[in-house]
Structure 1
Amino acid sequence: MKIRSSVALWVGLQEEWQADSLMAFDYCLFVRPENRGSRTAYLLIKAFIEWAKEAGANWIQCGTATGLQTEKTVRFYEKMGFTHTGSFLEMAV
């Protein structure tokens, strides 16, 4: 039996090599197309922020690297209080 989830959020914690701090980060945030535009992503990120605080994180890093709706995703994170600090670049070889 195949079970399909309408949302997924995978996160982690890591000690930073360049500073004495603990960073929370996202591996993946996925919301099925039919659930996009709802409060689903907002509620997941709010829960992630609270989890990071409780875990003792000094900062949180989220991003997008799918190439899909990048500008919309960046605006979403900025509305959640994040600052756009960089970009990913790729090259096929």
Structure 2
Amino acid sequence: MQIIEVGDNEIEALSDLVKELLIELEPDNTATIENMPLYQVAKSLFKSKKIWAYLVRHNDENLGIITLHECAAIYAGGVFGEISELYVKPEHRSSKIGTLLLRCAVDKGREMGWKRLEVGAPPANISPKTIKFYERMGYKCTGPRLRYLLD
């Protein structure tokens, strides 16, 4: 099993796994998600150094990804990291891939000088396993996350 820091050669694999994540989260929007320019967005974000990502690969099969970006807030004491996407293919979810990816995020956060990592997760009543996974890894629930679309 390889853990690869994503570069130009892995952007297509990364965007494919992000698509799988989005379809899993919103299956009713599959047609819309299929038409999203995920590869182009990922390429642009990497080119501008707005995100970092890691990919787990085994025998030429891409099994999981994590993406990170930097945020800033007074409450956080300055800059911190946020996990944008974390996805492991369903058939590999009990094989510690998520744990490996979160460890990569922690290592990157320390390298960047961040004091914390934050992550948005689905509500506990919808995805209790996800919440328990993060809690086992030392994350604490701090409340719901909301969004407002500007377009």
**Corresponding position: 1:52 with 2:115:** no
Letter in 2 for 1:31: V
- Give how far 1:15 is off: 1.8
Instruction: Identify the residue that residue 63 of structure 1 maps to in structure 2.
Output: 120
Q: Is residue 69–residue 83 contact of structure 2 (8 Å, CA) maintained in 1?
A: yes
Distance 1:66 1:19 in 2: 23
1:64 Cα deviation (Å)?
Answer: 1.4
AA in 1 matched with 2:113:
G
Residue-pair matches, total: 89
- The structure number with the bigger radius of gyration is 2
Listed as ranges, the gaps of 5+ residues in structure 1 are none
1:37 aligns with 2:94: yes
Q: Tell me the TM-score normalised to structure 2 length.
A: 0.51
1:1-93 to 2 correspondence within 5 Å?
A: 5-16=62-73, 18=75, 20-65=77-122, 70-88=127-145
Pairwise CA RMSD of aligned residues? 2.6
Distance 1:34 1:54 in 2: 31
Deviations 1:62-82 (A, max 9, x none): 121388952111111111111
Normalising by the residue count of structure 1, what TM-score does the alignment of the two structures yield?
Answer: 0.78
Quote the sequence identity (%): 25
CA 1:20 to 1:73, structure 2 compared with 1: closer, same or farther past 3 Å? same
Q: Quick check: which one's helix share is greater? A: 2
- Residue 88 of structure 1: how far off its partner (Å): 3.5
The structure showing larger relative contact order (alpha-carbon pairs under 8 Å, at least 6 residues apart) is: 1
Q: Match of 1:21, as an amino acid? A: G
Structure-2 change in CA distance of 1:70 and 1:89 (3 Å): farther
Structure 2 unmatched ranges of 5 or more: 1-11, 17-61
Q: Aligned with 1:73: secondary structure?
A: helix
Note the alpha carbon deviations across 1:29-83, whole angstroms, 9 max, x for none.
0100111111100000011011101100011101213889521111111111111
Contact 1:25 1:60 in 2 (8 A): yes
